[in-house]
Structure 1
């Protein structure tokens, strides 16, 4: 991630949001639009969305639902695979120590701006979570969702009977604490210095059954590659977003700006600083994908037109004629 880039998250972090929102009679689409997150985020797990927008969305959903445990409910509704390659990498480590080490080193590939650290004094180990400066506060729902999801993942690795020694949150204790013991299996302690999962150090040596360390090393290279891509220039981040949004038919400069939590003018300033424009990136991305799809030979012209975000085959044909020098 570049110094001045906006922290982004995989849209997979919204897994469980729609079903949880609907369980309270809320409109998921309306909440997403208020937080300036595209509806496609619920269908494409790898769409980049601003971490700040995710935090805002969950706080607004919690308020609209009238429950302080919205994040906990989301954690219960989501799939274990939501962490994507990071969860798979953790799963293939020989023991819990290796799994947590992978999480603290590469977990930000899932959500930039959400940081984790591991402290071990020989008897007790503390896995702590915090948000980067500049992200919205409060972020109670995001923190609770994260800790609940990790506790659930660790139980998946070590068995349903495993339990942490303590869970701590820095925010105020809510009036209704019933869901915490029910969903987490332990009552957290509130208003402490950090947000953390406290466990015995001996837990770190517990093996993860059926792990394949060799496969884990391959996954680690994949995740590290993802991390390097996250460090790309803003123009590359925009190109990646265009590539994701083209098949939806709604790939415009305002829509892409919304994905990054900025307005259209800011998007243009971003790109101009790198000698690019949105129209150039859109055209370049379409050209590259056009060449790819045509070389594959598995798509009809109508399908290619749709994949490139054109409203009709004739619009696609006109674009190809205009690009006389294109390899398409």
Structure 2
């Protein structure tokens, strides 16, 4: 993979196969045209090029004669794609904090997509940017899909209908503005200077209700799904939950034990019986995630540290020296030619 080739995890295609089937299409054939299979889509760890993802959505829309395909797909992802973001939002104090966590976590799932929020007068402006040049219908669909998901996420954490929020898109569209409003539940403007979602800035300080049932269920559904994937393998369950929780800044033994619905001491004992330590699981996953993030030079090292759950870059530097005997900056400069085969230093 070259540095310019951005990837996206298959979670972004959640709902693709059943939606295509519902609309009378052949999902397997559409995937095969991009060198993909249905089985690969079912593997959460599988990633595909962002360009292939964008073209797949556009191809499906054309084949099914559904110019609103991207938004229809987003409607199937309102909760299901939240995954670790739902876990993060549970621990956020307010809407602004939750959005900051979403932006922080984004590079791990799709290094080519960034989320920022700025305040402009009485408005907060959420912007999503793909670090990839796309044109026409391919760009339209891959833009509308994440904005529709973000809109649903904002409604869930703020518990507001958002009927007066404003979505703006740079592109033109075969869809009417009335159709957009029916699909998205708020005004949409086309051929604008930028893509953005505007909502009242006052919402950023709105406390997140710890009793928000939708948010709790989204997080609980994520944990249930991860546990069901390996019902008899406690080590794998813990590893998967840790991986999903690293960037939330709240990846601790008590938190993971609560998600598994067992006392922390019981979890420690059961891991010990398997010859495992929670601290080692976290350390190994941080090292693996570093190998994923470090080659993407557009991600600052401070961001890489946050993605690994470190509070500051110096912690990342110490870990890198322990794992590889080099600083993160030196590893990045060397383009990581032998990193995958690197042997960590003794603790």
Could you state the TM-score of these two structures normalised by the residue count of structure 2? 0.60
Q: Which residue of 2 aligns with 1:228?
A: 290
Deviation of 1:193 (Å): 1.8
Distance 1:233 1:56 in 2: 24
In 2 relative to 1, CA 87–6 (structure 1 residues): closer, same or farther, beyond 3 Å?
Answer: farther
Does 2:110 correspond to 1:100?
no
Which of these two proteins has the greater Rg computed from alpha carbons?
A: 1
Aligned alpha-carbon RMSD (Å)? 3.1
Distance 1:227 1:120 in 2: 32
Return the offset for 1:141: 1.1
- Say whether the 8 Å CA contact 1:170–1:193 is kept in structure 2: yes
- 2:163/2:187 contact within 8 Å kept: no
Report if aligned partners of 1:51, 1:112 keep a CA contact under 8 Å in 2.
Answer: no
Change beyond 3 A, Cα 1:227–1:99: farther
TM-score using structure 1 length:
0.64
Distance 1:195 1:189 in 2: 10
Aligned-pair CA distance for 1:174: 2.1
Corresponding residue for residue 28 of structure 1 = 27
Is this contact kept in 2: 1:147–1:197, CA < 8 A?
A: yes
Shift of 1:163: 4.1
> For residues 154 and 227 of structure 1, what CA distance do their matches in structure 2 show?
28
Q: 1:194 to 1:81 in 2, by over 3 A?
A: same
Worse-superposed segment, 77-86 or 93-102: 77-86
Judge which range, 127-136 or 67-76, deviates more. Answer: 127-136
CA distances 1:168-203 after superposition (whole Å, capped 9, x unpaired): 111103244444212211131011122111011101
CA–CA separation in structure 2 for the residues paired with 1:194 and 1:14: 25
Task: Please give the alpha-carbon distance, in whole angstroms, between the structure 2 residues aligned to 1:21 and 1:203.
Answer: 36
1:47 and 1:201, CA in 2 relative to 1: closer, same or farther beyond 3 A? same
Q: Secondary structure at the match of 2:81?
A: helix
- CA drift at 1:135: 5.3
Aligned CA distance change for structure 1 residues 274 and 134 (closer, same or farther; 3 Å): farther
Distance verdict in 2 for CA 1:233–1:186, change over 3 Å: closer
> 3-state SS of the aligned residue for 2:24?
coil
Q: Where do 5+ consecutive residues of structure 1 fail to align?
A: 235-272, 285-328
Q: How many residues align?
A: 236
Give, in angstroms, the shift of residue 42 of structure 1.
2.7
Cα distance change, pair 89–164 in 1 and its aligned pair in 2 (3 A): farther
Deviation beyond 6 Å, 4+ runs, structure 1: none
Structure 2, unmatched stretches of 5+, are 217-244, 253-281, 297-335, 342-347
CA distance in 2, matches of 1:56, 1:122: 37
1:179 & 1:162 partners in 2: Cα distance? 17
Equivalent runs, 1:136-151 vs 2, <5 Å: 138-151=138-151
Contact 1:168 1:197 in 2 (8 A): yes
Q: 1:136 to 1:111 in 2, by over 3 A?
A: farther
Higher relative contact order (CA 8 A, sep 6+): 1
What's the offset of the Cα at 1:134?
4.4
Counterparts of 1:73 and 1:179, CA distance in 2: 12
Secondary structure (helix, strand or coil) at the match of 1:82 reads coil
Match of 2:45 in 1: 46
In structure 2, the residue corresponding to 1:199 is in which secondary structure?
strand
The superposition leaves residues 14-51 of structure 1 with CA deviations (integer Å, 9 ceiling, x where unpaired) of: 00111221122110111111122232233122311111
